Amino acid sequence: MPRRAWLAAVAVFALAAVGAALYTQHGWDMLPCPWCVLQRLVFVAIAAVALLGLLWPPAGAAGVLALGACGVAAALWQHFVAASSASCDQTMADRIVAATGLDGRFPEVFMAMTTCADGAVDLAGLPYELWSLAAFALCMLGAALALRARR
């Protein structure tokens, strides 16, 4: 596949990941914690960078790789630290999302509605944040394939 096709696929996949998160939130009452919301923000950023990368694919792919690594780090932090914390109020995740103002403009998407410990849920036997980690890894794989693909 050409570079631009890989980047377009990454953008669609990243937005689908946000769509899945919104479906589980609103359809299955799985309320997001601050780290969940931060990961949504990273997926949206990945989609935006991938789409901008259609103009300059190497830069877009590199941006997706960097953002994907941030997403993986957020998912790992949520899994190993935040999910076992009684309170995750005013964490780095809260401060980043609040700084964007998106939690106020689009609360149905970017507002944290539970603590990390209370929001820790499994989906098909795996912690939710590990599904997110896998999705970030797939975005990174798509970006790596875009870098290796023909023009």
Secondary-structure breakdown of the chain: helix, strand, coil percentages, each rounded to the nearest 5: 75, 5, 25
Q: How high is the pLDDT of residue 117? A: 77
Q: How high is the pLDDT of residue 87? A: 64
Confidence of residue 88 (pLDDT cuts 50, 70, 90): low
Using the predicted structure, report yes or no on whether residue 82 has a pLDDT greater than 90.
no
3-state SS class at 114: coil
Q: How high is the pLDDT of residue 116? A: 79
Q: How high is the pLDDT of residue 115? A: 82
- Alpha-carbon distance of 36 to 105, in angstroms, equals 17
Query: Could you tell me which residue, 1 or 130, shows the higher pLDDT?
Result: 130
- Structural domains in the chain plus CATH codes: 3-148 (1.20.1550.10)
Q: Please say whether the beta carbons of 75 and 133 come within 8 A.
A: yes
